[in-house]
Amino acid sequence: MSLRPLRLALYVALALTLAACGSEQPQAVPEEPVVAPAPATPSPTPPSTITATRAPVTRAPPSGPACMGAVIHTVDVSTGGPPWRSVCITVGGILRLTNLGPGGLDAASWTNVDCGYEAGVHECRLIHVGTVKFAVANSHGRRPLTAVVVKASSPPKPSPACTTSPSALDAGDGGPPWRAICVKVGSVLRIENLGPEGLIVEPRGLVSCWYEGGVRECTFVKAGTVSFTVHRSPESEIRSLTVVAIT
């Protein structure tokens, strides 16, 4: 067999193969479409809430302890413990401290009180408006007590510590100052056995006095604290009296 026809067949097959390969065009790879991100959807804004702001309420400062009238207030001070609660009493009232020896009481302001002692009882007339800080000393130690003294209210509160008929004073009797008293406006104080020049009254505008035959009668015309000073002669001792007049 001749090789020429065989070679010819091989050349033809190779040519066909090359022609087929040359006829194929490269295929473009399709690109994925670029999708732009969707704009963020704003979250719904909640409706604005308007909060009503109230103006601050101005309140009056709390009032102090409830005040009593011109009463006689008694405290048993024989026990120990924390400070007693403050008491509030109208001027002219009395604070009685019972079961306490003669040297067991002190006060930060003696000018606002007039105290006397008898048989284990300290009786203190409240003669001026203000605050009196007492200190009680006994076998339990020292224990404070504060008294707030206020002016008379309107309408007046009960005032059992005050009188409308004070006892007459005998200027001829010697001795220490008379114990302070409390009277109602309109009351009359009678001072006996005293010459025309033997009396000093301060302040004068709170009383109206007249004199006859060694006797003075003084009518209290306004509320307040009045000081009477009796001096019969240069040789006699001076005695004084404090009177609280209330309505």
Domains identified in the chain and CATH numbers: 72-150 (2.60.40.1080), 169-246 (2.60.40.1080)
pLDDT the model gives residue 90: 98
Q: In this predicted model, what pLDDT tens digit does every residue of 189-243 receive, in sequence order?
A: 999 999 999 999 999 999 999 999 999 999 999 999 999 999 988 778 899 999 9
Predicted TM-score (pTM) of the model is 0.72
DSSP structural state of residue 2: -
pLDDT the model gives residue 237: 87
How far, rounded to the nearest angstrom, does the alpha carbon of residue 132 sit from its chain's CA centroid? 16
Give yes or no for a contact between 236 and 174, defined as CB atoms under 8 angstroms apart: yes
**171-189 per-residue burial string, b: 16 or more CB within 10 A, e: under 16:** beeeeeebebbbbbbebbb
Q: In this predicted model, what pLDDT tens digit does every residue of 42-60 receive, in sequence order?
A: 444 444 444 444 444 333 3
pLDDT the model gives residue 36: 46
pLDDT the model gives residue 133: 97
Question: Letter for the amino acid at 201?
Answer: V
| Helix, strand, coil percent values for the chain (each to nearest 5) | 10, 35, 50
Give the burial class of 133: count Cβ atoms within 10 A of its Cβ; 0-12 exposed, 13-18 middle, 19 or more buried. Answer: middle
- pLDDT lower than 50: segments of the chain: 1-9, 11-12, 14-65
